Amino acid sequence: MATRRIPALLLPSSPRNAFITPSRFPRRLAPLARQFTTTELRKEQQKANTSAKRDPAPKIVRGQSKLYKDADAAVADLKSGSTILSAGFGLCGTAARGGGLSPLVDSGQISRLTLSFLGNNKSVEKKYLSGDIAVELCPQGTIAERIRAAGAGIPAFFTPTGINTFVQTGEIPVRFGPSAKGEPLKVLEAGKARETREFNGKTYSMEHALPGDVAILRAWKVDEEGNCQFRYTTKAFGPIMAKAAKVTIVEAENIVPVGEIPVDQVHLQGIYVDRIVPATVEPVIEIRKVRESESGSGGSGNGEKKSDALVRRERIAKRTSKELKHGYYVNLGVGIPTLAPSFLDPETKVWIQSENGLLGMGAYPTEDEIDGDLVNAGKETVTVIPGGSTFDSAESFAMIRGGHVDVSVLGALQVSAAGDLANYMIPGKVMKGMGGAMDLVGNPDQTKIVVSTDHVAKDGSPKIVQVCDLPLTGARVVSTIITDLCVFEVDRKKGALTLTELADGVTVEDVRSKTAAEFEVADNVKNME
């Protein structure tokens, strides 16, 4: 009962349930997809209303033992139509058995899912496009805050995340209907446009709390009253989901007597836990990553000739490292950004924040250091440096959304002259979800957003454009663009680019020929180092 990347909110409205978002969308999403008729939509709404009148949550009897002999006994009274909060980050911290939630997808028990990132499950994509699964795609930090709000009794809140994107406008389809072969996909349920409001001159959108009937999570140590301890990044979603559900079931790796967990070391209080079952399956390491050398560098050693692609990546990463100043708190996206720390001066110390709940992320572990309970946002095994800490996802995204991170480095599919960023979707081709990217760019006045990317895509098309034609991750958010050819500084207010640095052997004309945006050239263009 685990998600592929971030925890899943299952919203079944029938004996079936739901799971993952697709990687393919029609070329123009909802605007060009044929809509269902009013009659068809009314029938679906009537079914949803009928389902909503039931209370599918199991009943709680206070005072009885919270210990159950096994998982079967703990879930025996779960009903179809339940909203299930499934905790974990990938397979880290999940009540794992088999391939996460995949078995439920394959058996047709999942009807609806809310998540931020799609894994590589092709059966989910197929079911989504055929209308068998509904998917609400939502930024990762927003999911965390919606769940946290539900547990705190807050019905809704305003957030800067997703402003000027398809999330705000509701243009990502939630459910498709059946279509004949060769016909355009029909949108049975479109996304919901968010209400917006202005505070202190800035636009925010309203998000609703995300409560559950049942939460299912895994903890390292649980006493007989339900007090829980979590190890490292296994606490990403477990504590907040437990608080947001009517009934919480905890799979415990170790069940201990009351009093064995020190009172000041309880991560989740027993008031939020209703059922405890013993874990019977060892945790699974999803992506086992180890250091290739003592330095942990991503470079190629032993005198081996580097590929052209690696040379480009290292050139970008080396220049990116100069954006990471001593003492900075930084967040690094997957891919090229993660290589930047290996080029830092030994005297420069930065604190790397990973959105799944880790501050002070270190290098990949050696074989002897591997711990499946300690992973990064890419679900890879990592280490933590002295002085580091772990926390849940609500805390993590409070750091991010609140502007406490100094620099965030991301990859890109496109960046516009105004600093608009598109990096999560190519309609009709690529659709993995935005993960935490929309949250990371949600406060660009406090957190500097740096894009580190190849100058052109694999097909040779420019990534730096006058106006993005791909769905946006954020509007006017990028301050610096670093590519294998040059560095651009972005004036987000004026919507203008200035070329400030050139790589060795690259001319201004080379850059112009591979850039689809207008730009100025600085009076003193520096060498990109």
Residue 209's identity, in one-letter code, is: A
Residue among 355, 380, 395, 501 flagged as catalytic:
355
**In terms of Cα–Cα distance, which of 233, 224, 234, 240 is closest to 277?**
224
3 state DSSP class of 181: coil
**In terms of Cα–Cα distance, which of 17, 248, 34 is closest to 114?**
17
Above pLDDT 70, what percent of the chain? Answer: 86
Instruction: Tokens for 101, please give them.
Output: 């939630």
Residue 524 CB partners (closer than 8 Å, separation 6+): none
Flag whether pLDDT at 23 surpasses 80: no
User: What's the whole-number mean pLDDT along residues 191-209?
Assistant: 97
Euclidean distance between CA atoms 445 and 281, whole angstroms: 46
Comparing 54 with 497, the larger pLDDT belongs to 497
**CB-CB contact of 412 with 451 (8 Å):** yes
List domains and CATH numbers for the chain. Answer: 12-55+99-208 (3.40.1080.10), 308-527 (3.40.1080.10)
Comparing 8 with 460, the larger pLDDT belongs to 460
> In this predicted structure, what is the pLDDT of residue 223?
98
> In this predicted structure, what is the pLDDT of residue 27?
31
Residue 337 CB partners (closer than 8 Å, separation 6+): 317, 320, 409, 410, 411, 452
Residue 214 CB partners (closer than 8 Å, separation 6+): 57, 58, 78, 82, 83, 84, 85, 245, 246, 247, 248, 249
Indicate the average pLDDT of the chain.
86
Comparing 286 with 19, the larger pLDDT belongs to 286
Active site residue 355: yes
The pLDDT-based confidence of 43 (bands split at 50, 70, 90) is low
Euclidean distance between CA atoms 112 and 175, whole angstroms: 9
b/e code 142-163 from CB counts within 10 Å (16+ = b) = bbbbbbbbbbeeeeebebbbbb
**CB-CB contact of 21 with 172 (8 Å):** no
Kindly report the pTM of this predicted structure: 0.86
Euclidean distance between CA atoms 40 and 36, whole angstroms: 6
Phi, psi of 239 (to 5 degrees): -60, -40
Euclidean distance between CA atoms 318 and 333, whole angstroms: 15
pLDDT in tens, 444-495: 999 999 999 999 999 999 999 999 999 999 999 999 999 999 999 999 999 9
* Alpha helices (runs of H) in 56-121, residue ranges in sequence order: 71-74, 102-106
The pLDDT-based confidence of 428 (bands split at 50, 70, 90) is low
